[in-house]
A and B are shown apart, each in its own frame.
Chain A
Amino acid sequence: MARVRSNGLSDEALQCVMAHLDEPLDRRAVSLVCKKWYEVDALTRKHVTVAFCYSISAADLTRRFKCLESLTVKGKPRAAMYNLLPPDWGGYAKPWIEHISFTCICLKALHLRRMILTDHDLGTFVRGRGHMLQSLKLEKCSGFSTRGLQDVARGCRSLKVFMLEESTIEEESGEWLHELALNNSSLEVLNFYMTGLEKINISDLELIVTNCPSLNSLKVSECDLLDLKNVLKKATALEEFGGGCFGNGQEHDVFQSIVFPPKLTSLLGLNFMAEAELPAILPRASALKKLDLQYTFLSTENHCQLVGLCPNLEVLEARNVIGDKGLEAVANNCKKLKRLRVERGADEPTLEDEQGWISHKGISSVAQGCPLLEYIAVYVSDMCNSTLETVGKCCKNLKDFRLVLLDKEEQITDLPLDNGVKALLQGCEKLNRFAFYVRPGGLTDVGLSYIGKYSTNIRWMLLGFAGETDLGLHEFSRGCPKLERLEIRGCFFSEAALASAVLSLKSLKYIWVQGYNATVTGANLLAMARPYWNIEFSPGLQLSRDLFSEDMEGEESQGQAAQILAYYSLAGRRTDHPQSVIPLAPSVFNWHQVAVF
């Protein structure tokens, strides 16, 4: 190959060019070209996302990327969001904070997701980076209290983004919000949605919206919406509002006095909103681009009525009370829809007579009516192959498809879904995330082999009760060329087959399994032992209870079945795991490690 004469390209020029590269995959490619380019990339890389905190040590990362401006670190596996991991599973932010606080002198933004950090950690970070911190996001984190938040409020006066969504925070007072109100005038995003914080002083919120003219997103915990009337009136720049709740036993027309800000395009939360309170949001409906109705008390009819008034909707989230009827309304009215999520509702029939459920009919309507769809995540009660074929034919922009077949109904129209899945995967070429959670018989070994064969671009996959035997898994693992992260739940595969599949999947970096043909000790998993590959085994809950009964909190963790977690790591074996997690590899008896000894 003729060598391109780029000798004239100086370091500065190279740096200038590379500074325009933001895509992580581009950056990865560029850093592999030669040593010089690796060094320039290391100096110019502004943002790194560590998808799993145990894959690399904080020291190694900060040593390589000295000029990082923004860092995202994710801790616990996704299963933690479904209460499948013990609360002390791990994902401690301490080593990260210790390294970045005083080493990364350019750091302006930190995003931690599903990690554990203490007030002390927050204090350290504020002391190190507070003076220039612009964005702090602690999403689904735990281990800290409002005292830590006070440190942040006092020490980070240039904060533009302060996000605490769904974190578990020990609440001592509302002082942190007061400090924030006094010290900050640059806030653009304030989010303490789903934190359960109650000691919120409304006057502090009013002060914040007055002092911060750039505030465009405000998501609060369950403050009474009536109390927030003034806040909403003063926050004239607000485009997104989330949280708040509609009180019980109020006179309904009282809510009509709530006026949402004029530029509002995004409404979430609206906890417990019922039909009588709909008029509060109807004036803004036609401008809405994002609407989340998951925590409302609206009926199927209400959903139909509301979406009928939202022609500009791009993101819609609801529970399955929306029904096939509601989805039809979406298909007819929301032609710009890009993201649709339909969550499951309560299992038992409630006093509110919730009869809503969605089936293949609703999905078909939406697939045909909304051609711009990029993300579909649905909990359905019934499915058939032709609907999946329709999705494959119509949703050409689909990047993320997640289907869960609920287990309430005995009879499903059309099982197995082998041919439907095949058609969907063949049709949606841009698909890079895929979840398919069915029941035994929902997908045969042939169907599983189709997934392997036709997932050309898929990088993340969740499979639930997919396939029948080890043979299906074997065929599956011969495909999926770009699969990097795999989650499997409820299957019949043996440990040996899983180990073998892991070795076959060319791009696999991470795998999580629960509910499989487990042995007591997970010994057969060692068949996939290889350099830099960590294997962690959690024995089933029954066993754990016997071993560690004084530590388990009974109903807290639903991790009944054994779990496997395996991932590539440059950081070696975990040392901060709880007793219920047993690292099988790298073992102390690893030949390489013994030699080093």
Chain B
Amino acid sequence: MMTYFPEEVVEHIFGFLTAHCDRNAASLVCRAWYHVERMSRRRVFVGNCYAVRPERVAARFPAVRGSPTSPISTSSPPTGRPRRALDRGLRLLPAAAAAGGRGGRAGGGCGGGAPLEELRMKRMVVSDECLETLARSFPNFRALVLISCEGFSTHGLAAVATHCRHLREIDLQENEIEDRGPQWLSCFPESCTSLVSLNFACLKGEINVAALERLVSRCPNLRSLRLNRAVSVEALSRILMKAPQLVDLGTGSFWVDHRSEAFHRLISAIERCKSLRSLSGFWDASPLCLPAIYPICSNLTGLNLSYAPAIQGSDLIKLIRHCWKLQRLWVLDCIGDKGLAIVASTCKELQELRVFPSDIYGAGSATVTEEGLVAVSFGCPKLHSLLYFCHQMTNAALITVANNCPNFTRFRLCILEPKKPDPLTNQPLDEGFGAIVRSSKGLRRLSLSGLLTDQVFMYIGMYAKKLEMLSIAFAGDSDKGMLYVLNGCKNLRKLEIRDCPFGDGALLENVAKYETMRSLWMSSCDVTLGGCRALAAKMPMLNVEVINERDESEESEESPSDFHKVEKMYVYRTIAGPRDDAPDFVWIL
């Protein structure tokens, strides 16, 4: 029936398909649909930047530009992988430039094609040249979102600010950015009034405060502003007076003497921000200056105090008591179990909780245990996303949590000491995690820790049918564990395993499974080079990459034996063939 409709009609219908997986499915139906779909796809998500050749992406999707809500996104493989030597970020951008110009060179403008408007990159190496190329090629560029990236400096930011006259968003989250001076903020032209979101909280150096204040003054649509530690409280107060419409604020240093005039000015400035819903920053905040935010606490839906170690126990509790509308809370474990009990009794709307460790070197300051988590599970029925670093956990607690909160979509528990058993019973935590996967039928992401046997994987394979991403460390007894997961989890996309006794038997039993997944990462397991070679030979549609970072002082072996255990292995499906930008210590089999 559909073949009788003109292309424009089909294209219009495809316009309602927004999810990548739906568009991918539609493009597989027939040639006609493939053609219509690719010409009209506006946004691209590349989940694994090694799996595609940038040129192919550009060639297939000439109209890709990114749109206000859906940028071009890429991300690189999980942690543990040396990112320094990778430069996919650089290659993707000229290709994107070429997408507009049908093979035109980057920097030569995009002659007639759709220009790139948005780019979102995670865990990539991005260079200043790359950012400059982007900025010069796409003067209409709107939004740059970089998360956990590195390799660039404030010069790259200056290039973007200078050339992209209609910039709406610069969002830099937790990147390592080289500080080469504060001039970049002055590079925004006077004509730039379109900023909606500016986040430079991760910048380490000083900034030009006067330029920042002028920029804020002339951008009336600014909704989200996250300042870095160099911005003083006095500057913050002045900025808030100019931008009372802010919805999301990263406070900068927030260091102030509560007896001073500056403190009172801060309170007045904050009180005017009636639209503020989300706060973060507080880098140097001391407990005595927290009352400055009490007036707007009752409006807050998001609060991130995870970079404020000076705010502890009782002061955190005083603050939380004001925040009864919180949906998202990120804190350090110095909140303690008592603090989490207050969260449970106050924040009935809580959906996402992240508790980070404040002292991983074990100096013994107050931390959280299973009690805090249990309290939250009783008090916050809407909780569905959890990241919890703690020193201990019990099966009984996990079972209680599972009963109280059957709606988890993300459940990441990190018990700081590897292989730690239930302290009450000395048993592994198989039953506890088993209860979680049994009760939360919508679970998509799971991270395990503590002492675990093959049994937990049997539960996961049996019950976690919607699971897409699983992270395992220091767990399991034998190959059976890994096989339970590979055979049972129908929707598995990403599997990351470290320090587990899984070997070639597990790796090679169900090789077809890897083609249904985005990637498999294994490090410090029992997989051998021979096993990896066998996998590569059996499955030509998979790239099998092995990383062995050896000391230069060791004699270089002609060719390590097949029995040699690999340090790190990364397997992913691809149609692009082996990549050519791998560094020396990565072997592609």
Chain A partners chain B: no
Binding site for B on A (CB under 8 A): none
Binding site for A on B (CB under 8 A): none
